[in-house]
Amino acid sequence: MKIRNTLLLLVVSAVAAVSCNLFDNWDMDVPMGVDKHANLTPEKLFDVQSDNNLYITPAGDICLCFEATPEVQQTCTLESGKTTSLGEMTTVVDEGPIISGGADFDPAQILLTFDNPSDKTVKFDVDVEANTVTKAVQKAKFSVLVPAGKTNYTVLIKSVDTDDPVVNANATVIMDSAAKAAFTNNKLSGPVKFNVSAGLGTTKAAAAPAASAYKLKAAAKLFVPFKLKKGSSFTLIKTFTDLGLKLSDYTIESKEYDVIAEVTNSMPFEITGTGESVQGVTATINNPIAAGTKSSPAKTSITVRVIDNSGTSLVQDASIKLRFTAAENGARINNGGTLQIHYTGIKVHQF
């Protein structure tokens, strides 16, 4: 899966600020005052809501999310010393966004969801087989006690107590050494299988009446947070329309103009424009946008040169590629930061 759809932010506002009535003056190099603000939240920046494999954690980090299918269920009687197989769930873990320079993948976290409508505590056993990039199959086993009468009971399995949880859960299980070897020392790739069985939570309990049959259910999600090494980079692309701007609403007859802006960046990534030409339109940022943090945002003054070589009188849409480069080791994608842009002027060069 590739992170797709992002960010033309700088060029978009340029066009948004220039309507047909601004071009009544046909002098060369005409400066135009602009006062427009844009605030790109993580949801807008990465289109998380439209991508089933991306998830924003409570801490604001973006991670990969893979749901195992199908959920398993079985109607069974609960008897002392007896276990019942509910079935197998499988999810395929891909390598995530294309990152040049590498990423450190944090320990995967597993969210299990159980239904136990019975009047007894039920022990669910989950055997996991995980493929890694080394092609070696890692195995782990988790046992979870689910209280009586609980539906949609969630249990988060993570490596250590200090891990930032990707989701809130009813209960937490810490991985043992075998599980850590599978999920913290290897990068997952390919299928991950969950085999689930269930039985009474204690062997001392009396057998349930023969007529007492209960539908037990289990589901699983796998979360893979990741952070970039210093100097690693990824690119994001978005069209004008993706950002809610219809260029057909504007009469843009100039072939070349500059957009002047102040950018406040609270993400740990330096941002540069590649100047890639798409549909005959190019945009080049004169200055790298400095990396910042939530506690110490960085401000950068930039000028974006926009050139339209499409050969049409009106630009209908375009896509521009921007490169995000990690300014520090452990830079997390987005990390709750935002990109705020204050457009202060446009200079038209030719018509």
Residue 3 lies in a domain: no
Mean local confidence (pLDDT), 296-303:
94
Question: Does 204 lie in the same domain as 78?
Answer: yes
Instruction: Place 28 in a pLDDT band, splitting at 50, 70 and 90.
Output: low
Of 228, 255, 280, the residue at which a domain comes to its end is 228
- Amino acid 122: pLDDT: 95
Count of domains forming the chain: 2
The pLDDT, as a whole number, for residue 247 is 52
pLDDT confidence of 27, banded at 50, 70, 90?
very low
Number of C-beta neighbours around residue 198 at 10 A: 28
Helix (H) or strand (E) segment spanning residue 141:
strand 137-146
Could you give the CA distance from residue 167 to residue 112 in angstroms, rounded to a whole number?
11
Mean pLDDT, range 303-325, rounded to an integer: 72
**In a shared domain, residues 279 and 292:** yes
Query: What confidence tier does 3 reach under pLDDT thresholds 50, 70, 90?
Result: very low
Asked if the model's pLDDT at residue 280 lies above 80, the reply is: no
- So what's the pLDDT on residue 128? 93
**CATH number, domain with residue 180:** 2.60.120
Q: What's the pLDDT score for residue 78?
A: 87
Share of the chain above pLDDT 70, in %: 76
Read off the pTM: 0.73
pLDDT tens figures, 225-266: 878 889 998 888 766 666 555 555 555 567 777 778 899 999
Q: Going by C-beta distance under 8 Å and a sequence separation of 6 or more, which residues neighbour residue 296?
A: none
CA angle 207, 213, 217 (to 5 degrees): 110
Q: What is the band of 22 on the pLDDT scale with cuts at 50, 70, 90?
A: very low
Q: What's the pLDDT at 113?
A: 98
Q: Which H or E run contains 13?
A: helix 9-16
Instruction: Give the C-alpha separation, 6 to 45, whole Å.
Output: 6
pLDDT of res. 1: 45
Query: Is 32 inside a domain boundary?
Result: yes
**Containing structural domain, residue 159:** 54-93+103-228
The chain-wide mean pLDDT, for the chain, equals: 78
Confidence category of residue 46, pLDDT binned at 50, 70, 90: confident
Closest by CA to 298, choosing from 337, 344, 345, is 337
Q: What three-state secondary structure class fits 342?
A: strand
Q: Which whole-number Å values give the CA distances from 178 to 57, 58, 124, 127, 139, in the listed order?
A: 26, 28, 18, 12, 8
Give the tens place of pLDDT for each residue, 134-193. Answer: 777 888 999 999 999 999 999 999 988 777 788 999 999 998 887 887 777 677 778 899
Q: Do 200 and 301 have their domain in common?
A: no
